[in-house]
Amino acid sequence: MRTKQVNFLIAFAAVVLFSFSCFCISRMTQTNNQLINCRNHILEFKENMLRLKNKTETNRQELMKTLNRMKDEIEQRENLSARLVEKKVNTSDKIETVTNAFEILKFFLPHLRKVGRIYPNVIIGKEKTGVSFALGIPTVNRGNHTYLKQTLTSIVSRMTLSEENDSVVIVSIADSNEDYVKSVVDMITKKFRKQVKSGSLEVISIPAYFYPPMLHDKESTEDSEKLERWKTKQVLDFCFLMLYAQPKAMYYLQLEDDIIAKKSYFTTITDFVHNITSNTWFSIEFPVLGFIGKLFKSADLTDFVQFFLMFYKDKPIDWLLGYIFQIKMCHPGETTEKCIERNREIRIRYKPSLFQHVGIQSSFPEREQHLKDIYY
C-alpha cells in the first residue's frame, strides 16, 4: 500500500514537473517571440528614425535653398526698386529743372499764372542731357511747301558720329494743325530713325495754352494785324524752345527749318568756340542773316529770354537781339564808335557763314521771301 502511494507521488511529481517544464518552455518561447518582436520593432523604429532623419535633412536642405532663393529675389527686387526710384528721381529732377525754367513765363504772360505745370508735349525724345550742343529748330506749317527734311538732312549728315553723340537736335512744332504735326513726326521717324533711336533727335510741340489770347484771335482780316501776330508768335516760339533746350547742353545753337549747312559746319563751330581766348562773349553769329546760326551759352539763355519777353509784342526777335547788346554795352554820352567796338567783344561774327537760308515760301501765309546770306 505504501509502495503504491510512493509511486503515485512520484508519478504526480513527474507530471507536475513535466507540466511545469512545459509551462516554462512555453513561457520562454513566448518571451523569446516577444523579444524578437520587440527587437524587430526597435529595428523598424530605428529605420523609421533614420528615414525621418534623412527626410528631415533633405527638407532642411530644400528649405535652405528656398530661403536662399527668396533672399536673392528680395535683394534683386530691392536693387531693382532702388534703380527705379533713382531713375524716377533723376527723371523727376530733369522735368523739375525744365519746369522751373518755364516758370519765368508766368511773370511776362499773365494768362499762364492759372496754369499749373508748363511743359511741352514731348512727342519723340529720350531726355538726352549733358551734351555740349543743343540745336533748336522751330517749324510751322507752310502749306504745300516744306523744307524741314532738307534742313535736317543737311544738319545731321554733316556731323561725325562723336559730334552726333555730343549733341541733341530739337525740332519744335509751333503749329496746332494736327495733320502737320503728324506729317512731321512720320517723316522724322522714317527718315531719321538712327538719330531718334540714339536720342540725338527730339520732337516737341508747343501747347496751345502757352500763347496769349491775342494770338488765338482769327477774326482780324487786316494784313498788318496778321503780320504783327505772326512776329509776336515767332518771338514766343523761340523763347519756348530756348527754355526747353537750356538744361540739356552747354551751348545752344539757334537754327530755322528752311536752311542748309556747310560741310563740317559742326567741327568748325566746335573748334572756333574752343579756341576763343576770352570767355566774355554773349553770342557768336555763324551767319549774319536774321536769327539763323546764333550760338549762345546755355547759362545766358534766361537773360536773353527775359529781355525778349519784355518786348515780344514790339519788335522781331533779330531786332531785339541787337537791342540787348546796345543796352548791355553802350553807355550814355559815349561815341557810337566806342559802343560798336565794345559790342564786337561780346557779339562775335564768324565769316564765312556756315548756314544759308533756302526757303522761298515764308512761314507767314501767302508771302515769299528771297533772303540770302551774302557771306555764305
Residue 146 pLDDT: 87
Q: What is the mean pLDDT of residues 61-75?
A: 57
Q: How confident is the model at residue 129 (pLDDT cuts 50, 70, 90)?
A: very high
* pLDDT tens profile 12-32: 666 656 665 666 666 666 666
Q: Any idea which residue has 576770352 for its cell?
A: 278
* pLDDT tens profile 328-359: 778 888 888 888 888 888 899 998 999 998 87
Nearest to 250 by CA among 122, 104, 97, 129: 129
Average pLDDT value over all residues in the chain: 81
Nearest to 244 by CA among 318, 139, 170, 167: 170
* pLDDT tens profile 154-213: 999 999 999 999 999 999 999 988 999 999 999 999 999 999 999 999 999 999 999 998
* pLDDT tens profile 287-310: 888 889 999 999 999 999 999 999
Residue 53 pLDDT: 59
Q: What is the mean pLDDT of residues 84-96?
A: 44
Query: Taking the mean position of all CA atoms in its chain, how far away is CA 361?
Result: 35
d(CA 204, CA 206): 7
Residue 203 pLDDT: 95
Q: Which amino acid type is present at position 70?
A: M
d(CA 158, CA 135): 14
Question: If 0-12 CB within 10 Å is exposed, 13-18 middle and 19+ buried, where does residue 98 land?
Answer: buried
Q: How confident is the model at residue 116 (pLDDT cuts 50, 70, 90)?
A: confident
For residue 45, pLDDT over 80 is answered with no
H-helix or E-strand containing 316? none
Q: How confident is the model at residue 286 (pLDDT cuts 50, 70, 90)?
A: very high
Q: What is the DSSP string of 249-304?
A: EEEEEE--TTEEE-TTHHHHHHHHHHH-S-----EEESS-STTTTEEEEGGGHHHH
For residue 121, pLDDT over 50 is answered with yes
